[in-house]
Amino acid sequence: MTRPSGAHLSSDEIEACVSGAVSPALQQHLEECPACMEQVRVDREIVQLIGALPLMNPAEGFADRVMARVAIPDPFALRSLQTTRRRLFATKKSIAVAATLVLALLGSMAGSIAWSLAHQDTLASLGTWLFAQGGQAIWLGVQGLVTNVIEQPWYAGFRSLVENPERLAALSAVGSFLYLGCLLALRRLLAVPTQQVAHAGL
CA distance 32 to 16: 18
CA distances from 71 to 51, 66, 67, 74, 188 (A): 37, 10, 8, 9, 52
Mean pLDDT of the chain: 80
Q: Model pTM greater than 0.75? A: no
Evaluate if residue 4 carries a pLDDT over 70.
no
Query: Exposed e or buried b for every residue in 138-164, given b needs 16+ CB within 10 A?
Result: eeeeeeeeeeeeeeeeeeeeeeeeeee
At 138 the pLDDT is 92
Residue 61: band (very low, low, confident or very high) from pLDDT cuts 50, 70, 90: confident
